[in-house]
Amino acid sequence: MKLPHTRLALPRGQLDLWGHGLGELSTGELLALVEPLPAHSDARAIELAGQPAWFKGSPLRGHASRRHALRGLCGLPLPRVREYTNLAWLGERLFRVPEPVVAGCVRHRGLPLYQFLVTRRVAEAEPLDAALSGLAPELRGLLIRELAHESARMHALHFVHHDLFGRNLLVSPPRPSGGDQRRLIFIDAWRGGPDYLPRGPAYDLACLMLEGAALFTPLEQTLLLREYLAESAAQGRTPNRPRLLGAIVRERARLMARIDREPTRWRGPGAPVTDWQAPREL
């Protein structure tokens, strides 16, 4: 996806900006996003062009800065720019995502020092675990079915999220009857993209089941995977069930091993369930 691009001079370095929202923003508003340059990762609600927005930024230092500079020479975008294009890609295909406004990068002598993304703020949405808490079983089932159907549709379009944990799913309040009743909103889609990259759909399902082993009951886990398989078939993509389940188990084991090596990677509630078994009732 080719994005509009502009470059602004800073006292030290330059500010590169990409996005279809550039025409809505003044130079002063754009410069204010990085002046002064934040020293740490930052995520916060802001106002931009009179509209509620969400700002997410992170510094790039040392090896990370040099690595992304080399990736840029190969035509590979920064993570926040990739997240912009992924959200836009999903939105164009009618997935519910935060609308991206602008992505940016501060550079000094060609090296990226800071990257950020601004999206429209999603009103009144809450994380999946909070939304499920206290819901009646039939209402929980509706959300789980929606998650299965939208994940299958995403994969049928050859898009893998690559970070499909519960924390990266928001749930909006119920809508009035009639029209689109979907409530799930996909966020933090910077790791994946509209190609299978190194990993396939089983990786996304393993991410879901890493937290889902505690978040969903065994019957709900079965429902999720059964509905995923049924929707995949409806989308013209029929995975081999034993092979898919085996791949989910293997990918989940790799995720668990990575968390054992680097415990700070785990950001879910409580400790991950280690002895998870794929449902046999499929």
Q: Which residue would you say has higher pLDDT here, 266 or 183?
A: 183
CA distance 233 to 238: 5
Q: Is 151 exposed, middle or buried (0-12, 13-18, 19+ CB in 10 A)?
A: buried
Annotated domain spans of the chain:
5-120, 126-265
- pLDDT of 196 reads 62
Least confident of 80-94, 151-165, 184-198, 266-280: 266-280
Contact, 30 vs 102, CB < 8 A? Answer: yes
Contact, 148 vs 187, CB < 8 A? Answer: no
CA distance 167 to 185: 11
pLDDT at 158 exceeding the cut of 70:
yes
19: region left, alpha or beta (phi > 0 left; psi from -120 to 50 alpha): left
Summarised one tens digit per residue, pLDDT across range 46-80 is 999 899 999 999 999 999 999 999 999 888 899 99
- What is the average pLDDT score of the chain? 92
Q: Which residue would you say has higher pLDDT here, 160 or 198?
A: 160
Summarised one tens digit per residue, pLDDT across range 241-274 is 999 999 999 999 999 999 999 888 788 777 788 8
Summarised one tens digit per residue, pLDDT across range 188-210 is 999 889 876 678 999 999 999 99
pLDDT at 4 exceeding the cut of 90:
yes
Q: pLDDT grade, residue 10 (50/70/90)?
A: very high
CATH 1.10.510: does it fit domain 126-265? yes
Mean pLDDT of 98-115: 95
